[in-house]
Chain A
Amino acid sequence: GIQVEQSPPDLILQEGANSTLRCNFSDSVNNLQWFHQNPWGQLINLFYIPSGTKQNGRLSATTVATERYSLLYISSSQTTDSGVYFCAVEPEYGGATNKLIFGTGTLLAVQP
């Protein structure tokens, strides 16, 4: 099946720093989404981004589907950005199943 790899696995930042998280996937996808899991376990959808670029406040994401990767940018990081960031994809093979396969995540800690 499709492989979804996220890097780096862990990241420590000082408040105010910028960061880039990467998601590589091994096959063509219909669907790609980014999620943030806060320290209390709540999972929040950040972006639905199968291709192109989107921005939402200090966060932005870019997916280059032809090269099979997506990037999540966090600018001017805040302590509330801490948590785990997941990338999830729906493989193109098998048709439109709406089944998302998750990467193992990037654990981000933002220090004051």
Chain B
Amino acid sequence: DAGITQSPRHKVTETGTPVTLRCHQTENHRYMYWYRQDPGHGLRLIHYSYGVKDTDKGEVSDGYSVSRSKTEDFLLTLESATSSQTSVYFCAISGSPRGANVLTFGAGSRLTVL
């Protein structure tokens, strides 16, 4: 996880509350991603960013928004959390200045929505 920090690592919240997960990288990679992992579904892409203020939707974007105001930070927001958003959320980066497209993951954030 060197160079990628996710916060918080664990969070328990109640249905209807807003939640923001933060991903911070020190690798100066161009691309940043948010995935969720659920049993039986593997990892599914929520949103990704291809530069500052440039984002796009993934496979399961409903109920989520993202922002990237700096190269190093990518925020995932659940405006009104639901129980179906209980999951483990992984941030990832790729696109090093050397051009490699290898995907590197953070340690994950476990979110429980009661």
Contact = CB atoms under 8 A, between A and B. Distances in A.
A43 B90 contact: yes
A86 B50 CA distance: 23
What secondary structure prevails in chain B residues at the interface with A?
Answer: strand
Interface stretch (B18-26, B37-45, B63-71, B76-84): B37-45
Contact of B107 (A42, A45, A48, A99): A42
Given A86-B42, A102-B43, A104-B42, A33 B102 contact: yes
Nearest to B58: A99
A33 B59 CA distance: 18
- Most B C-beta atoms less than 10 A away, residue of A35, A43, A104: A43
Contacts of A14: none
A86 B90 CA distance: 14
A101 interface: yes
Interface string B67-105: 000000000000000000000101000110000111111
A45 B48 contact: no
Nearest to B1: A42
B45 A99 contact: yes
Given A33-B102, A48-B101, A102 B44 contact: yes
Contact of B31 (A35, A88, A98): A98
Contacts of A48: 100-102
A60 interface: no
A84 to B, nearest CB: 9
Interface of A: 1, 31, 33, 35, 41-45, 48, 86, 88, 90, 97-105
23 contacts: A1-B59, A42-B108, A43-B90, A43-B105, A44-B105, A48-B102, A88-B103, A90-B101, A97-B50, A98-B48, A98-B50, A98-B94, A98-B101, A99-B33, A99-B45, A99-B48, A101-B45, A101-B59, A102-B35, A102-B42, A102-B44, A104-B40, A104-B42
